[in-house]
Amino acid sequence: MQTLSFEFPAGQPARGRALVGCVGSGDLEVLLEPGTAGTLAIQVVTSVNGSAARWQQLFERLLRAQQLPALNIAIHDFGATPGVVRLRLEQGLEELNHA
């Protein structure tokens, strides 16, 4: 298992929390919680060693399209593909928008 940490600029803190996915499903789970204004902090616990560059690129692509609120995001990965990761992140963000 490997733990990766990333930080990016963000807006104001999110108003709620969201949990999507289930690591026990052979997929991944994403927990989104309000963070410190101006900071998007992401921690990834992954079973795929040496995947930091892939995660960095995935987050940069996601952030090009939009500025996210200040969040602490915890991702527990069980070898999910980048498409599934993006889907779960978007699902979590959608839940936050409805909170």
pLDDT above 80: residue 27: no
pLDDT tens for residues 63-81? 898 889 999 999 998 878 8
The CATH classification number of 2-97 equals 3.30.230
> Could you tell me the pLDDT band of residue 56, with boundaries at 50, 70 and 90?
very high
Residue 1 CA to residue 11 CA, distance in Å, equals 31
- Residue 11 C-alpha from the chain's centroid: 15
Domain locations in the chain as residue ranges = 2-97
